[in-house]
Chain A
Amino acid sequence: MSVQITVNINGEDVTREEEPRKLLVHFIRETPGLTGTHWGCDTSNCGACVVLMDGEPVKSCTVLAAMAEGHAIRTVEGLERDGRLDPVQQGFHELHALQCGFCTPGMLMTARALLDENPDPTEAEIRTAISGAICRCTGYKNIVAAIRWAAEHPAAVEQEA
């Protein structure tokens, strides 16, 4: 049995007929242009599917799309503003914080939420914040450095533009 579900993703309402069992990660990914959120372990372990729900990072494989109705969802596509990369995106670019890129969207969203709450995190705080996200190729060193870079260059992208 399908029901009408409306989820606000990156500021736009997306409405579709879906079964209530539709997971938020799939609802997002089945929306044209929004495949940046990755679907990984499906068991709330890996963190590839992290999106922001009312500004807080959540694992979208363990949230029903129906539960997200009435909440603001922000995905990796919502990081870029007016063609300018978010500092965390720029930091990952500058410091080579990805190889295969599978964990990257979840890492970026987790990092964005951390910096929104704590603009000047220590390395330990960064490591704690991303402890729910698994990277299997780069290792965490460059990811931590990239998040520090973003903390140190909050307006970097604007300056360059």
Chain B
Amino acid sequence: MQTPAPFEYERATSLAGAIAALHDGDGDARVIAGGHSLLPMMKLRLATPERLIDLGDLEDELSYIREEPGEIRIGALTRHVDLLRSQVLAEQFPVFRDAEEVIADPVVRNRGTIGGSLCQADPGEDLSAVCAALKASVVLRGPAGERVVGMDGFHLGPYVTVVGFDEILTEIRIAKRPHGGSAYEKVERRAGDFAIGAAAAALNISGGTIVAAGVALRALAPTTVEIKRAEELLRGSRPSEELFAQAGEIAAADCAPTADGRGPVDYKRHLAGVLTKRALRRAAARALQKEA
């Protein structure tokens, strides 16, 4: 039987109360939402919080997908199933639907949340790459107030983020840009598994030229890796198969996979190249559809 180590449990009745409880916990307390990232880690005793603060009752406050004039805002407690079914996201950022269709299985997607996925920061988790490619930022709230951190500065390493011990990730913000297209490509050993490798791409195309580009890989480095050199190559260029193949070659070179049960390094580098190319191809097709 897999059982977590003993802990104390409390239900948060307010966000401020949860933050205060984290602060009092002095690093030994964790928040739990859907629990589908944290509980498995606790069963394996890889996470041993002494106090769990359940955010479940804050769902009304923190579960939403809001379209604002300049950006989309997603509450941290928004579940995978809601990201998958959101019409707003399907129109603005179809990369979310691509990714959500291949995250675990429908039953798991009923519980897991975007905030939990990002904060657990498992190297094989999908939404970090999605948010990185979209150049999203996250809102972290702590005792002293809020700060907004870009996804490019979010990860410190595998399972480690900049979220402080007394901070809670409350919201994800993604700027809307005209003529955008995005896509996610993932290869897994079997349906619902963590990725062997995955690539997220987001492009904005204006007048036949790529004006903004985001490329991020997951499971192909110790943590999410943005392929900056590919993004630079893409910006200002006209979309073409040759360009995307070139971007793929950069991704294969710039990722940092490790050999494990899911495959050797050369295979994973090959995947990085192919998946980057495919994601860019689909992102461009979607962007051009909007431009037309």
Contacts and interface: CB of A to CB of B under 8 A. Distances in A.
A67 B33 CA distance: 9
A20 B106 contact: no
Interface string B94-111: 000000000011111011
Interface of A: 1, 3, 19-21, 23, 26, 42-45, 47, 50, 56-59, 62-64, 66-67, 70, 110, 128-129, 131-133
A132 B52 contact: no
Most buried by B among A1, A47, A66: A66
SS class, residues of chain A in contact with chain B: mixed
Q: Size range of the interface on B? A: 20 to 34
A131 B11 CA distance: 32
A50 B106 CA distance: 12
Contact of A1 (B8, B36, B111): B8
Contacts, number: 77
Given A3-B9, A21-B7, A67 B35 contact: yes
Nearest to B109: A132
A58 B39 contact: no
A66 B39 CA distance: 13
Given A21-B3, A63-B111, A67-B32, A42 B43 contact: yes
Instruction: Name which of A20, A43, A63, A129 has the most chain B CB atoms within 10 A of its CB.
Output: A20
B40 A21 contact: no
Given A20-B9, A67-B32, A67-B56, A43 B107 contact: no
Given A20-B8, A62-B36, A42 B56 contact: no
B107 A58 contact: yes
A27 B7 CA distance: 17
Given A43-B40, A67-B56, A19 B6 contact: yes
Interface in B1-56: 1-9, 11, 32, 35-36, 39-40, 43, 52, 54, 56
